[in-house]
Amino acid sequence: MAFHPYLYFDGNCREAFTRYQEIFDGELMLMTGHEAPPGEAPEGKEDLVMHVTLLVDGAPLMASDSYDDDFAPANSTYVHYSTTDLDNAKKVFEALSEGGTVELPGGEVFWSPFFGVCVDRFGTNWQVSLEVPQEA
């Protein structure tokens, strides 16, 4: 069993995932309303992303644009990204923070040599950490 976050965006899903692919690499698979059977995408919203997956090292990050006119981003959900490479953790945190808001600057915390929290310019909440090996 696995859990996979599914994000919603207010019309900027393609832009966000293009940026995430630049940051994380991986394979980007994107479908808009134009690719759906007739009548499946709301009229006038065919350019919106119906579904996107960014597959990074076998782990999917998925999303779509919201068709809801009252869209509001989630406040209490964070995507947590962890890596075993300190330079990579710093690079990813810096890239995600660019144009966004840093909630907790990346740095050492009692459980990890690096942990940082930010909201990216697309409104997605992120936590970035350095994985440390578990002691036997």
The boundaries of every CATH 3.10.180.10 domain in the chain are: 6-65
Task: Please state the rounded mean pLDDT for residues 72-90.
Answer: 92
| Architecture category of domain 6-65 in CATH | Roll (3.10)
Strand order, beta sheet including 79-83: 79-83, 125-130, 112-119, 101-109
**79-130 maps to which CATH number?**
3.30.720.110
d(CA 119, CA 38) in angstroms, rounded, equals 36
The pTM score is 0.89
The boundaries of every CATH 3.30.720.110 domain in the chain are: 79-130
pLDDT in tens, 93-119: 999 999 999 999 999 999 999 999 999
